[in-house]
Structures are given as structure tokens and as C-alpha cells.
A and B are shown apart, each in its own frame.
Chain A
Amino acid sequence: MDHEKKYWLSLKDLSEDKDFKKSLQNEFVSPLPSIEDVSSSRREFLQIMGAGLALTTTACLKRPTEKIIPYVNRPEDIIPGESNYYASSYHDGGEGFSILVKTREARPIKIEPNQEAKLLNSKGLSPRAHAHILSLYDPERIKGPKQNLFNDKKTNKETINISYKKLDSLLVEEFKKGQVALLTPRLPSPSVQNLITDFKKTFKTKHYVWDPISMEDVVEAQKLSYGSSFVPSYNISKARFILSLNCDFLGTYLSPTDFQKQFAFTRRPSKNMSRLVVLESLMTLTGSNADERHRLSSVDQMSVLTFLANALSKKSYISLPEKAKKIIDSYKNSWSHLKISTDKIEEWADHLGSNKGQSLILSGGLRSQTKNSKEVYILVNFLNSALKNDGKTVNHSQHFPYEFGSYSQMNQFLSDVKKGQIKSVVIHKLNPLYSYPEKDKLLSALKKIQVVYTGDRIDETGFYANYVVPDSHDLEKWSDWEFKKNTFTIQQPTIRPLYNTRAFEDSLLTWIKLSGLKKVQVENFYQYIKTYWKSKKGSSFWNSFLKKGITGSNKESTSVTRAFRSSAWSFIKKDRKTSQKYTLTLYETSGLKQGDLANVAWLQEFPDPVTKICWDNYICVSPSMALKESFKEGQVLRVHSNGNVLEVPIHIQPGQDDHTLALAIGYGHTKTGVVANQSGVNAYPLALQNTFSGLEVSFEKTKVVKPLANVQGHHSMEGRDIIIETTLEEFKKDSSSGLHKHHKVPSLWPKHKYKGHKWGMVIDLNSCNGCGTCMVACQSENNIPTVGKKYVLEGREMHWISVDRYYTGTAEDPLAVHQPRVCMHCDNAPCETVCPVMATVHSDEGTNDMIYNRCVGTRYCSNNCPYKVRRFNWFNYEKKFKEPLNLVLNPDVTVRSRGVMEKCTFCIQRVQEGKAQAKKEDRNLKDGDIQTACQQSCPADAIVFGDLNDPHSKVSQVFNAKNSYGLLDEMLNTKPSVKYRTKVRNKKKSIHSKKGHH
């Protein structure tokens, strides 16, 4: 027997398994684990599935249900999703437009120019015309008539509601006593004037017409010179040489939109291109577009004009009467002080003399309105007459009809109140306790009488009115207008009044009726107008008037020359020395003008076309004055003038006269609304009646700095090829002068193929004057929010189109160039490649599309965009569209939420609409069917948009013209779908000193 113990590890060992013996040699007994061993069991699988299901279902909460409810009875003319357009009008001081109001589901959403209105404005609107739709939905409008209860001192104690019935009976009772006054601005409306006459007859009313921006001196000068008391219009399109003295006719004077259109017409680079010389104290839009610009203080206007008159007579272009010679001689001493070289003035005399009947001397507007501006205007009238411009470039037959407001009438009103001749007053379309310079005087007068105010809010005047009878918004009521002599437009309401408001005209009519003093056939003002036009043009006329929106004679009135009355010379006094060191000029901006639309955020955030500052007014000083007085940008200056003190931040403005300080009116409301109340100071109290320029001023510095919200970061092109400028002479030789396009830049990407359309745009920098209307039009079309001053300062404004203004030349005597900048829709778009989630992609029609709901907001696209046209939603701006402001939103354009990028889309919604329309009508898309909002709003017709694949389209004909260029294309090879055409100035000297290479 074998007694030897055998130790064994396992049965396999015991049985002396060979494989096992072998495995004992290895260090590791068990095989290495492999992936096959880790399969989970069926139960585990079910467990995991169950957990997953639970997790996913709890994460997905149900979205709130939004119901779309169809009309039960669809109104006849409303198709959901389709826009209706109504012809209407917009009135704005001297300017008036025939407009089309775009409505969707019965709410007005946008103002567009009426293309039928060839007599007035077939193209282009003003920024204010676009923006005034927002005032319809102003949340601060009052919702019905109000009565103010006063305490003993006649300051407002409480505002209570009152019914129309009670109000009307109270007022009619009061009016019947007589001694009622009507205080309005100029109302160029035939029917309204008729109605006012009826009202005056009924209640023995006196009607006082006053405008804060008064044309009094211009009218007065016309009266003295020609015996006609109106403001003439100007045929700028016929002028080949324009000399403007402190007249901002492209920005603010009279009807700038019309003038812009005409001016652009004369600027085509040909041998007939006009030449504009501007002499002005502050940099204006007009000055920035000049071929030659010189600084001229408004107090020196007479010296220049007398020198010019002398030169013209010396060169025997005109003859001066004896009386005139004496006066002109008296100015001789002042000529030696002129900062403009006399050679220059003699050169202009030659231009004026050789272009008789085709030249124009312009002066007018607040910037020129000094104490003796009447004399300036008379002399200008004389020169225009002597140069045979009257009746040609000075268009007096199509003048601005109806009485212009004047300060003398306001003074009359005040003295009539003082005398006790007035017991109550109806104030309409004015806010005099804001805009009348001598506010205290007016207030004490108003406290003596009963005040009925038709404003739509308890503002500065409304606060002291006994009754506030809110006038309906222009888009809610009927009216007709005569902006130009013999050109009539209709104003249709486009929505039922949102609140319990009543049109001023209906109020007048009601009061006339209730008085029982006069029989009225009609029920309301609508019928009143209808009857008026029926009686004038017959019954069939009405409907076509509504459809077209405009009527009038197309005939160009014969150019009758008015005789200049030599008696006018006796109103020009001899030179009297002014020895002020500094003078103050108050001016209006093209955004706010007199300030009536100050509560419209679009206009507050609309940057001034020249300074590019928004949300504030500021005191402009020249760079050399700033250096001398060591002023800093934004430093607050305490300004004393006319016994008033204001604290305003300083803006150092290139091109400003060294002895002029300038401040804009229209800002600094106190009770108008949350938007209006936060911006700027009220400059009206510094005015001396209708003297707005050459005011005495003194100032002291403070240590406070109030930063100004400038939307533009830098104001020089730093020698870069951004805006290519050339002179007429060089352009005539070679239309591509200034450009150099010879680099062939290779691309790594394959070219895009565009089989259908390929959208493109060309912006003519030579036509563009930089007015900025396109910015507001775009804002209205594309639901672009405003952000407020704080965030503009942080560089977060949202405008999809911005108009860049660069100064050229020296800081003392610069010129400026303007460049509207939209998304370039590059073929090689730098933004498209860097977006990680493909939220911005190229369409097969050449546009660069932004997909908002895919965007996560990395902002890489913005960083990589060389044009920086992308805008980011830093906050939830959609919250800003509070009721009823949300009604203004365009339903065709997505409202963006926070955290997404947005930018110009080439108005893709309009492109789609145009394509759908063409398809519906079974035809091909025509050139011009699709207009972008900016293009449509441009008075100068500087923007052309269309299909580049259509060889006959307007845009494809200019896209590859010799003078068009893609911005930065030469450098970056982005292949933009937007091109610019070079700017041409009518100058002799070469701009391009260096034909440099980069």
C-alpha cells in the first residue's frame, strides 16, 4: 500500500489532468477577464430599462397649451396671415407723407411709403414717420377723458375720470359764454381748417397758431421781400450749385426727406453733378455731405452774405441798388475778420453767377435763427431773385400752405389772457408747458383760465389742464392734409380707437352740435370730410381718393418770377458789432425734432446721424475750444443763458465753430413718460422767443462726468479701405478710381451653386446721405428691441442695420462719410464655419440664415464676423414688449428669446412673401417685387436689392459695376452679397494722395 499522503488541490489534480498540471506553471490561475463575461442578465436589463423610462418621463414636462382660435365669422377683408394696406398720412411739422399702413389681423404694424404718391414721396420716409406707429401702442396713453382737481394754488391734487357726457355739457356751457381760445400748431388740413372756422363762428373763438420750431422770420422775410407770407419750397433737383448757410435741409429743415430725394437725384456722378457748399456753425447732416464745408458762426452770416453780394456785383453778375450798396459797405470792416478765405467766396460767386437759375442759396431753420436772421433771409431772397433762382429752384407756387405758427401769436394769446379777454382755452397738438421758453409766464396765464387739453397723457401741460380730452392717435382717426400747395392726402384710421379717446375734430363737432348755435348735418368728422370732398370733387371721387391716398395736379406750375421789393432793403440794418466770446445755438435733431415723440423708444435709441449719440442731448463744443478750456467728453457743463441754468454733458464735435456751443431741443421731459423722462435736459427755456441761435451764454465746468451713449466706437477709418471716396474729376477719367481690385484670393471651399435665385444688394454710398431712416424702418419690420442708455453704453444696441459715420480731414474742418452696414450674406461666410450647432447656415439662395431655436449662444459667429453685424440677446428683451406694445410686433418675424444671436436676414419674410405671391399668381418673380424694409424707406434710393441670377435685374447690373466693391473682400475673400458703390465728391483736388498697396 502506498501510505504516502497525497495533497491535491482539486479533483482535476487528483486525477492528474495534464492541462491542469500545465496551468500550475502559470502564475495566474484563472484566465484574464474578457468582455464576453460582463453581459448583464435579462433581469438587470429590465431594471435598467425601467429606471431609464422613469427618468426620461419625469424630465419631459408638458409644455403649456396655446390655442389658436379661428374667427367664428371672418371679417370680409381679413385673411389671417395676410397683410392689408391702407393709404393714410403722416404729418410732422413742415413735412408730410402719404403713407401706407400695413395691418395684420386688423392691427397696424408698420408704416410704409405710398408708392402711388409720386406727387409727394413715392420713396422714402423719415425716421419719425416710421416710429410714430409705436406711439399708438404707448402703454402710458390715458384710457379716457380726465378731470384734474386742483388745490388752492392751482396745482394738481388728483386726476379723476369723467364721462364725455358730463364733460361736454360742462364745456359747452363754458364755451357758450364766449371768450374761448384755440391754441394749435400749424394744421395744414383743409377739412380741419374748415371745421375750426365753424367752431370759431359758433363760439366766437380766437385761434392762435404757435409752433415751438417757428418759421416766423422766414415768413416775415418772404412777406417783406415779395409780399407773400408763406414758406416756399425748393426744387433742389434743379440746382447745380447750392450754397447753404446754417441750413440743415438734408436733416431737419422743412421737409428734409423730400430734399434728400431731390439732392440724391443731383448727385449722380456726371458732368451735371451738383456742387454743395455748406457754411455752418455745427456739424450737420447737410455739412457732412458737402463738397466743401466751412465753419461759420450764425452771428457772422451777414458778413459772408454781404461779401458775396459785393463780389457778385463786382463781377457784374448782379446789380445792387444804391440802398443796398450802402448797407453792404457798412459791413466792410467785418470782412477782414472772416475766417473763410475771400478767394473761396469769390469762387462761389463765379459758380452762382454762371449757374443763374440753376443755383440756390439756402438759409433757414433753428441754426440760423438769430436775432437778426430776418435780415439774413431778406438778403438771401434778394440774391436768389437776382440770380434768377426764384420760380426755378425756389419753388413758391408749391409752397407750404396754411399759416405757420409764430411767437407773436403766442404773445398775443398771453396778453389777451392778461387782459381778461379769454376765459378758457383748448390746447391741441402742443405741449406748451414743455416747449414754450417762458414756461412760468405761460403757466401763470393758464392758471387764470380754464384749460382743455387734447393730449393723450397727463404730461407737462396735461398736469395743469382742467380737463384732458384725449385726442385719438393719428392712426385711429380721419383727416385730410395739404402738405404742399394743391397736393392733398387722406388720413384713414386703421384701427378702432384702442381706448375711450375721441378725435379732436369729433370733439369740436360735438361741442358745436351741443351748443345748438349752429346746425350741423353730419354725425361725425368722417362724414364731415366726406361731405367736404363730395362738394369739391363729386361723389365718385371719394373711393379713389381712399384707394390712392393722394390727389392733386401733376402739372409743374409755371415758373413765375416774383419781383423783389426794394423796400425790403430798409429792413436790413447796418453792421452792428457783436462782442460775445461764445454764443449758443439750439437745434433740433432729426430723431426727436421738437420733442413730441419723445416717449417713443425707437427714436430715443436712434443715434443722431452725425454725432451717433442716442438717449441724450449734450452741449457740442469744438475740439480746439475743448482743448483751450480743458473740457473732457461727457464732463457736465453748467450753462447759463437767458437767465436759466442747465447742467449738460459735453460732446466734443469735430467741425464745430470755435465760438459756438450747441444744444438740442426735444429732450428733458418731466411728465411725458418713462422713456421720455429719462433722457437729456429741456433746452427750450434757453431760447429767446423765436431766437434759437447766437444766444448769449456763459458756462462753468463741473467735476461730474456723465457718459454719453455713442453707438459708434471710433470715428476715423484709420486709413483703411472701408469707404472708398473719389472726386468727380477722377471718376470721370476712371469710374473705378480709388478702388483697387486685383488681388485674386484663393479659397479652400468649393463655390456655392445657386440654381434659383441669388439675393444681393448694392448700396450706393454716393446717394446715401446717412439720415438713418433705414435703421428705424428695419427696427419696425424686424421686431428689434431697444435696450436703453445703460446698455448702449455697454455696447449692446440691437440695430440690424447701422449707419457708420467716419470723419475725414482734420478735426477742425472735417467732412464725413456715411456707410449703412447690414449683414453681408457672404458666400464664404466666416460665421457659418464656426457655429458648433449649425445655427447659422447658407441657404441655396445665397442668404446666410440664422436659426434662432437652434442657437445656443456661443457668440463665436460674432467674433469671427469681420463686419460685426451680429447682435446678441443678452437679456430677455421680449419682456419689454408689454401690453399693448406687443401689438406692434410683425407676426412674420420671430421674436427672439434671450441667449440667441440675431442679425439682418435680407428681410427673408418679404422674400418668402414675394415668392409665394408670384407662385399664387402663377408667374415669375419680377425685379422689384421684393423690397427690403431699408430699401423701401430710403429717400435717396441708395439701396438696391434683387436677384443676382436675373441678368436684367437692377441689382445685377450694378453689382459688378466698375465702381462697386465688397467691403474687406479684397482682404478676407468673404465674397459678400452686399456691395458698395464709391462715394464721389464734386471736387477738383485728388483725395488719393497715395496709391498705396497693403
Chain B
Amino acid sequence: MEREPLVLGRKSLKQVTEDVSKLVETVPGIKFFGFFLSVKMLFLFYIGILVAIVSVGMGLMGVNHPVAWGTDIITFVFWIGIGHAGTLISAILFLFRQKWRTSIARTAEAMTVFAVLTAAVFPVLHLGRPWFFYWFLPYPNQRGSLWINFRSPLTWDVFAISTYALVSILFWYIGMVPDLAALRDRAKHKFRKVFYGSLSLGWRGTGRNWSHYEMVYLLLAGLSTPLVLSVHSIVSFDFATAGLPGWHATIFPPYFVAGAIFSGFAMVVTLMCLVRAFIPQFKDYITLNHMENMNKIIMVTGMMVGYAYASEFFMAWYSGSSYEQYAFLNRAFGPYWWSYWIMVTCNVIIPQFFWFRWFRRNIKAMFIISILVNLGMWFERYVIIVTSLHRDFLPANWGLFKLTFFDFGALIGSFGMFLFLFLIYIRTLPAISIAEIKPVLGVGKGNKH
């Protein structure tokens, strides 16, 4: 059977370089600047919100007693989850030699890096005294015998996330080096020469360069692979190791990882739809086949997540603990029933549309579905955190949680930060891996390689 080509339009090698480099080498149009400025305003607004919260106090946000974790932790888990698709595409699909990954890998990795950076703000922001965030780090200090508590899942988080951020950034950057060198070589402007020249680390394209490069890339892929599983597992320990009904569950690690991949792919789909819409020449590289593959993954992981929801209910019933049972009934039918049903609708029911080929291959449809999936995933964390906390063991402590202006500000503003970074990336760095695309040009074109 003849394979479908991975890249459409019978591109020559030169064309590939041209297509990708054009984006970086031309001045963006008014449309882009309009979008960029509004995103920048949102980012500035976000910074304002952060400054207000840090200088006045956590009290500005909706968190209270008993719901001591709120928007910050919800949004943190949300963004960390988003990041997972990038790692999965670049590392695991690489190791499995899935060649279709090449055209989306770069942007997915960039998304991972920006998502992790966006996420990293929140654990610091949610602290009562954020200026002491470095107390989480186990370094020799002059504060007597003070040390960190290795039994605390929050300490594990610090290691998990910092490792993840470092490896993702390295992976993304290393993969970019040959393309950066290509840009350097094409540069006509002195500034560009210096900029790309310094970033490309003296890449000459020699056999020796390539040999080292491939080895490092393989090693980093190997290193990132366990991270796909470990990071969100460890984030889920924040909840799973606590004694709270609704949190205290062994299903959390796989459930969180599935959810993370689910939301990550949804975010990649969202971004790719936008990239396809705004950068027409990329349609040949990011084809409907790519989108369909990702939609299939969304559907599969969506069902895994749905299975987890169901098994939580089963476990609550099976445990025989009235506290657990109440926690889950309260989720579905308590004061926050709407959040639960938003979650179920968006995460379990909506992705079922991808059983139909038309939905998998229709850009508008998948764009809407992918956004709904991410909405659902934000609500999943909302449900886990808020509904479990607001009614726990002693009814006298029960309370409600309301988002304040600052909660919305932090949540929406974080998108400002993410998109700001993403837009800068798309016009300054090669958004598709030129070096990796060229070897797969022949796929499906009869050229036997």
C-alpha cells in the first residue's frame, strides 16, 4: 500500500527552507501586530494582577477556609498538563519513529516550554510569602539546621517541575540548533547574524556536528520519556497522598497523566488550527493527517479520563466509607454540580464526536472541540480541588469558594503570558523543524529511501 505523503505540495529542499524561514525573515503584517499588542496588554494586566496579589496578600483571591487552594493550583495543574503533549510528541513519538511528528514537534515543544513557564508562576504566587519560595530548595543555608521535608509532595513537585522545565527547554533548544544555523546563514542583516549566530552555537553542519547532535537528541528523548509519566504523577501526589475524601485515591497518577496528554493534545490542536489559519504556507506541512492523528489521541485519552471518573465513583462506593461516598455524590449533585457536569460533558461526551471522520478532519469542528476539551480539563482540576475541599469531614467547616476579580485576572492573564511567548516564538524561531522535515519529504512520494 502506498503511504500518503507527510508533506504536501511536492516541495523541493529549497522550498522547505524558504517556507519556514520566510516567517522569521519578513516583517509581520498589521493583523499580527494587532493580535500581538492585545496579547501584550493582557500580559501586562497579568503582571499587574501578580504585583497586587504579592504586595497585598493572598486574601485578594477567593481562597478561604476550608478551600485553601483555589485558582492558583487549579491553573497550575492545568498548564502543567498542557505541557505534556509536547514532550509526548517530541520524545515518545520520536523514539517510536513516528515520522509524522516532525512537522508539529517544534511547535508542540515550544508550547510545552511556555506552558511550563506559565505554570511555574502559580505555585510561587499561591504562597503566603512568595518571596521565600527558595526555601523549598535543599541547599546548604545559614538558617541553622533548617532543611526541607522530603516527605512532602510539594517538595517532590519542586524537583519534578524543575527537571521537567530544564529537560524540555534543552530538548527544544538542541533540536533547533541546525535550523538556527540555517537562519544565520541566510541572514542579511548584521543583527540577525549575531542573534542567530550566537544561538546556533557555531553549528557548521559537518558530519561531526550531526553525529553529536543526533546522539544528544536521542539521549534527551530518552530522558524526557519517563518525564511524560513522572511529572503529572508527582503533581497528582499532591492530592493522592492527602487524606481528603476525593483526593485520597490511588488512581490519580495514571488518571492525571491521561488527562494531561488529553489536554496537551487539545492545546496543540487549538494552536495548530490557528497556525494553519494564519500561516497558509504551513498547511502543506501540518496536514489534515496530522490533525486527525492528534484527534484520535484526544479521543482515546478522553475515554481513559472518563473511565477514571467512573472508577472513582466505584471506588467510593466500594470503600464503604461514608465520607468518600458523600464526597463523590456531592461532586455530582452538590453546590458545584455544574462544574462536574461541565467537566463530564467536555471531557467525556464531546470527544466522542471524533469517532466520525468528518469531525476529525474538519478544522472548525476540531478547533471548537479542542477548546471545549481544555475548558473541561480546567474544570476537572476545579472539581478535584474545590469540591473536595469545600465539604470534608466535619460539616461545621464546610464553606463555599467564589472566584474574585483577582482569580479571573490570574487565570485569564496567564493566557496572556502564554500567548505572548508563543507569538514571539512563532516570528523569531523556526516554527517547523527544517532539518527534520527534509528527510521525510520523500515519504509517500515513491522515492524509496
Contact = CB atoms under 8 A, between A and B. Distances in A.
Interface of A: 27-28, 712-720, 722, 791, 794-797, 802, 804-806, 819, 821, 830, 833-838, 854-860, 862-864, 866-868, 870-876, 897-901, 967-968, 971-972, 998
A14 B322 CA distance: 89
B321 interface: yes
B174 interface: no
Nearest to A787: B59
A719 B323 CA distance: 10
A836 B396 contact: no
B5 to A, nearest CB: 33
Q: 10 smallest A-B Cβ distances: which pairs?
A: A857-B128, A899-B128, A874-B59, A713-B398, A804-B396, A795-B64, A859-B68, A714-B395, A899-B129, A836-B154
A838 B148 contact: yes
B154 A834 contact: yes
Contact of A835 (B129, B132, B149, B207): B149
A855 B128 contact: yes
A712 B242 contact: no
A712 B59 CA distance: 20
Contacts of A859: 63, 68-69, 126, 128
Contacts of B147: 838
Q: Which one of B67, B320, B396, B398 has the greatest number of beta carbons of chain A within 10 Å?
A: B396
B321 A998 contact: yes
Interface residues of B, number: 56
Q: Which one of B57, B64, B397 has the greatest number of beta carbons of chain A within 10 Å?
A: B397
A760 B415 CA distance: 51
A795 B399 contact: yes
Contacts of B65: 795-797, 862, 868, 870-872
B394 A821 contact: yes
Nearest to B64: A795
A835 B152 contact: yes
A804 B154 CA distance: 32
Given A795-B66, A968-B393, 18 more contacts: A27-B208, A28-B208, A712-B396, A713-B400, A714-B395, A804-B396, A806-B395, A821-B394, A836-B158, A837-B146, A856-B132, A856-B133, A857-B128, A859-B63, A873-B57, A900-B128, A971-B393, A972-B393
B57 A875 contact: yes
A487 to B, nearest CB: 39
B274 interface: no
B134 to A, nearest CB: 10
Q: Which one of B58, B146, B326 has the greatest number of beta carbons of chain A within 10 Å?
A: B58
Contacts of A830: 242-243
A837 B133 CA distance: 10
B148 A872 contact: no
B153 interface: yes
B contacts with A: majority SS: loop
A294 B326 CA distance: 33
Interface in B130-157: 130, 132-133, 135-136, 146-149, 151-155
Given A835-B149, A837-B148, A875-B57, A862 B129 contact: no
B59 A857 contact: no
17 contacts: A27-B208, A28-B208, A712-B396, A713-B396, A714-B391, A795-B66, A795-B400, A837-B148, A838-B146, A856-B129, A860-B242, A866-B393, A868-B397, A898-B129, A899-B129, A900-B129, A998-B321
Contacts of A898: 57, 128-129
A864 B151 CA distance: 14
Nearest to B208: A28
B392 interface: yes
Interface of B: 56-59, 62-69, 126-130, 132-133, 135-136, 146-149, 151-155, 158, 207-208, 211, 238, 241-244, 320-323, 326, 389, 391-400, 402
B128 A836 contact: no
Given A836-B148, A860-B152, A868 B66 contact: yes
Given A833-B151, A836-B136, A863-B68, A857 B127 contact: yes
A720 B323 CA distance: 8
Contacts of A864: 242-244
Nearest to A749: B151
A240 to B, nearest CB: 33
Nearest to A857: B128
A872 B128 CA distance: 9
A899 B393 contact: no
Contacts of B63: 859, 874
Contacts of B321: 971, 998
Contact of B135 (A821, A837, A867, A870): A837
Contacts of A722: 394-395
Q: Which one of A802, A830, A868 has the greatest number of beta carbons of chain B within 10 Å?
A: A868
Nearest to B133: A856
A863 B63 CA distance: 11
Contacts of B391: 713-714
B153 A834 contact: yes
A864 B244 CA distance: 6
B396 A821 contact: yes
Contacts of B397: 713, 867-868
Given A857-B58, A872-B65, A998-B321, A867 B393 contact: yes
Contacts of B322: 719-720, 998
B232 to A, nearest CB: 18
B149 A837 contact: yes
A833 B394 contact: no
Nearest to A862: B68
Contacts of B64: 794-796, 874
Contacts of A720: 322-323, 393-395
Nearest to A967: B394
B231 to A, nearest CB: 17
Contacts of B389: 863
Contacts of A718: 326, 395
Nearest to A860: B154
B64 to A, nearest CB: 4
Nearest to B239: A863
Contact of A27 (B135, B148, B207): B207
Contacts of B399: 713, 795
Contacts of A795: 64-67, 399-400
A805 to B, nearest CB: 8
A860 B69 CA distance: 8
B128 to A, nearest CB: 2
B394 A867 contact: yes
Contacts of A856: 127-130, 132-133, 135-136
B128 A715 contact: no
A856 B131 CA distance: 9
A857 B395 CA distance: 25
A830 B248 CA distance: 12
A667 to B, nearest CB: 24
Nearest to B136: A836
Contacts of A838: 146-149
Contacts of A719: 322
Contacts of B148: 836-838
A854 B147 CA distance: 10
B66 A901 contact: no
Contacts of A796: 59, 64-65
Contacts of A797: 65
Contact of A836 (B155, B320, B398): B155
A194 B3 CA distance: 113
A818 to B, nearest CB: 10
A835 B132 CA distance: 14
A855 B136 CA distance: 11
A858 B127 contact: yes
Contacts of B394: 720, 722, 804, 821, 866-868, 967-968
Nearest to B151: A833
Contacts of A716: 395
A858 B323 CA distance: 25
A794 B147 CA distance: 34
A713 to B, nearest CB: 3
A718 to B, nearest CB: 6
